[in-house]
Structure 1
């Protein structure tokens, strides 16, 4: 079965590099495309859907903002299952850090070069607490398109979905600082998992993913 992975805010498949997915699944990575002016999440999802082969059974795995997009895609292409990680199945109040970052990004003409630098605050909120995670986050921030990031932050902060898509399976960390644990009710908690637990807790998450993906094998 095909499984399509969708990364977080402008990140790429590097964030999934530590996962070990069962060979029964063919892994694909959906690539972010540049958003059009004033494009909604639904409109963007319609364009992103072109990367998915809907003639074969498939599942979606979305990380952070990728989880939001997975829910939007599900309205269009109807996967067998959605698994979201460090994300939310419905619109929720965002953290103070997220609100501050969004305000800065939308108002400051100097935001792009500052955004592409990592610092103690971004390390803290993303849960980058090891040299390897800090290096990964620094590279991701550097490579992220600032236009896409501004658009995605604005859309995620105003996401109005009230009912979660049927068949969503949610994995979340108890120490996530970007999407506070008190705001979500996941199916599985990862003890002490931060927002980047997909990387540093990859062994545990791989086991959960393989078991859950297997529930939809035909």
Structure 2
């Protein structure tokens, strides 16, 4: 009599304002993994704590001991989620494990509070948000990325930026698996410790380096 191997339950959280479509190029063994995608929730208020937000995200998980995978700001959120539920593994991609891995420009923005002056309502325009999220280096390809940005609520972006810059995580949580590109312009790798490196990977490598990321995910999970 053949035994049936239970599939591992994977929950993916996308990057800042992004939709789960950013994971469409990942190819993982269907006989091993069952994939779930978590869309962003609209913050209940501008003062909602990231801990409370993470609890609301966890309320949408109906699997025991899942694997959490988060990209960029999604990586921060899945780490907060992992504090609230038991996880088989927590994996972050193009993200940071503590506030000490944030680049100097982020720390300066926090210290001066200049981020509060960002035209976040203007950034709710999809063209501007795409340029802000993905960077000027792909400005000519903004049209391609419009479909990847789904969170249009004007309160989300200032809330998310505030919670990135004011994240209170002083040191990495144990057993976080970190995958990072060596050419990440948002979270430069020189600030990042203890990660698996994707050669040539930028901050949007989940889109254009999906093959090596898929291979690595399959190995580490």
Structure 1 length normalisation: TM-score? Answer: 0.83
Query: 1: distance between equivalents of 2:156 and 2:129?
Result: 21
Measured after TM superposition, the shift of residue 114 of structure 1 is 4.2
Secondary structure in structure 2 of the residue aligned to 1:51: coil
Q: Which residue of 1 aligns with 2:171?
A: 163
Measured after TM superposition, the shift of residue 121 of structure 1 is 6.0
Query: 2: distance between equivalents of 1:120 and 1:14?
Result: 14
Query: 2: distance between equivalents of 1:115 and 1:98?
Result: 24
Q: Does 1:45 align with 2:54?
A: yes
Picking from 181, 189, 208, the partner of 1:181 is 189
Q: Which residue of 2 aligns with 1:138?
A: 146
Q: Which moved more, 1:180-189 or 1:204-213?
A: 180-189
Q: Which moved more, 1:117-126 or 1:147-156?
A: 117-126
Whether the 8 Å contact between 1:125 and 1:195 is mirrored in structure 2 is: no
Structural mapping, 1:67-86, within 5 Å: 67-86=75-94
Picking from 151, 157, 169, the partner of 1:149 is 157
Q: Which runs of 5+ in 1 are unaligned?
A: 214-218
Whether the 8 Å contact between 1:174 and 1:191 is mirrored in structure 2 is: yes
Query: 1: distance between equivalents of 2:188 and 2:29?
Result: 30
Q: Which residue of 1 aligns with 2:22?
A: 15
Q: Does 1:113 align with 2:114?
A: no
Q: Which residue of 1 aligns with 2:213?
A: 205
Picking from 73, 94, 109, the partner of 1:65 is 73
Measured after TM superposition, the shift of residue 180 of structure 1 is 1.3
- Corresponding residue pairs, total: 209
Quickly say closer, same or farther: Cα 1:193–1:98, change in 2 above 3 A. farther
Whether the 8 Å contact between 2:122 and 2:128 is mirrored in structure 1 is: no
Quickly say closer, same or farther: Cα 1:49–1:59, change in 2 above 3 A. same
Quickly say closer, same or farther: Cα 1:106–1:142, change in 2 above 3 A. farther
Whether the 8 Å contact between 2:10 and 2:36 is mirrored in structure 1 is: yes
Measured after TM superposition, the shift of residue 36 of structure 1 is 1.9
Query: 1: distance between equivalents of 2:107 and 2:140?
Result: 22
Query: 2: distance between equivalents of 1:32 and 1:143?
Result: 7
Quickly say closer, same or farther: Cα 1:156–1:146, change in 2 above 3 A. same
RMSD of equivalent CA atoms: 2.8
Measured after TM superposition, the shift of residue 141 of structure 1 is 4.5
Q: Over residues 107-135 of structure 1, what are the superposed CA-to-partner deviations in whole Å (9 max), with x where a residue is unaligned?
A: 36x5423452249964873764774xx33
Whether the 8 Å contact between 2:134 and 2:203 is mirrored in structure 1 is: no
Measured after TM superposition, the shift of residue 137 of structure 1 is 3.0
Q: Which residue of 2 aligns with 1:125?
A: 135
